Amino acid sequence: MLTIGQLADYTGVTVRAIRHYHQRGLLAEPARDASGYRRYDGRDVVELIRIKTLAEAGVPLARIQELLDAEPAEFSGAARQIDEALKQKIRELTQHRRKIAELTGGERLFLPAEIVDILGELRRMGVSERTVQIERDAWILMVALSPELIPEWVSTKRGALDDPEFRRIYVLGDQAYDWDPSDPRLAELADAMAAWAASSRPDTSPGETPASLAAAALMISHIVGSSPSWERMNELAAKRLRALKDPQRPPDSP
């Protein structure tokens, strides 16, 4: 008869695991000898090898218990299920390999392809990586907050990028990041921005709900808040835009 250590050696299962299986009721407790040691026989070896095989295949211990006293018919059904689960797992791991590969390669992982394209275009325009990152974070925020508006925002942005004047303003705005908030060029830039906004954008876009406006405001504040000169520029541009839309109004009321 075998002691627990011998059984462990023969089957390649650890002593601790065998006791664990006893505790879980997976493997029947064998008879003890006079000194209280467990004594195993051939049937225990067979049973333990079955358990080990299933456990190594990733079957949870609870399931193994059911399977051990299952009829061959249910057993083979269950085996098919387990096999399906393994196949699924393999598919997932393959997916993960792909994702890990993308992780080394930038934003492709976080954003839909059209937005990645837009970011690429900004880079081609000579926009600094810093500003591209700010734009990227803003998009991520948008996608999280109002995914249903993304197609519209994307097409608006694409349209704007087709306009040479917008591109000129964007590149200049990128450079303005480091300017002093009192720099006189900011007023010029703000004027150009306001003019472009007034000429290109209809006053109301379709689908603008309070929630989407809030999202837009959040996005703008995220962008604008990253540089003091941008903050100043935004103020100036907003004032200018109000003046353009409503010429009656006194120019400096807050």
Partner DNA sequence: GCTTGACCTTGACCCTGCGTCAGGGTTGGA
Partner DNA sequence: TCCAACCCTGACGCAGGGTCAAGGTCAAGC
- Candidate residues 10, 31, 35, 137; the one interacting with DNA per rule CB under 7 A: 35
The CB density around residue 51, as the number of other CB atoms within 10 Å, is 24
Closer of 37 and 188 to a copy of itself (Cβ): 37
Residues 185-214 as x/- pattern, contact with a copy of itself by CB under 8 A: ------------------------------
154 makes contact with a copy of itself (CB under 8 A): no
User: Six-digit token pair at 106?
Assistant: 């930038």
User: Six-digit token pair at 113?
Assistant: 């392809």
10 makes contact with a copy of itself (CB under 8 A): yes
**Residue 4 touches which member of DNA, a copy of itself, none, C-beta under 5-8 Å by kind:** DNA
Q: Which of 91, 222, 215 is nearest to 146 (CA)?
A: 215
- Candidate residues 1, 49, 55, 171; the one interacting with DNA per rule CB under 7 A: 55
**Residue 97 touches which member of DNA, a copy of itself, none, C-beta under 5-8 Å by kind:** a copy of itself
Longest dimension (CA), the chain: 107
- Candidate residues 46, 62, 103, 217; the one interacting with DNA per rule CB under 7 A: 62
Please return the burial class of 207, using the count of CB atoms within 10 Å of its CB with bins 0-12, 13-18 and 19+: exposed
Hey, which residues does 2 pair with through a beta bridge? 40
15 makes contact with DNA (CB under 7 A): yes
146 makes contact with DNA (CB under 7 A): no
Closer of 109 and 180 to a copy of itself (Cβ): 109
| Number of chain residues interacting with a copy of itself (CB under 8 A) | 53
User: Six-digit token pair at 64?
Assistant: 């193994």
**Residue 99 touches which member of a copy of itself, DNA, none, C-beta under 5-8 Å by kind:** a copy of itself
* Touching a copy of itself, residues 32-71 (CB under 8 A): 41-43, 45-46, 49-50, 53-54, 56-58
104 makes contact with a copy of itself (CB under 8 A): yes
Binding stretches for DNA (CB under 7 A): 3-6, 8, 14-17, 19-20, 33-38, 55, 60-62
Binding stretches for a copy of itself (CB under 8 A): 1-2, 6-7, 9-11, 41-43, 45-46, 49-50, 53-54, 56-58, 72, 75-76, 79-80, 82-83, 86-87, 89-90, 92-94, 96-97, 99-101, 103-104, 109-110, 136-138, 140-141, 143-145, 218-219, 222
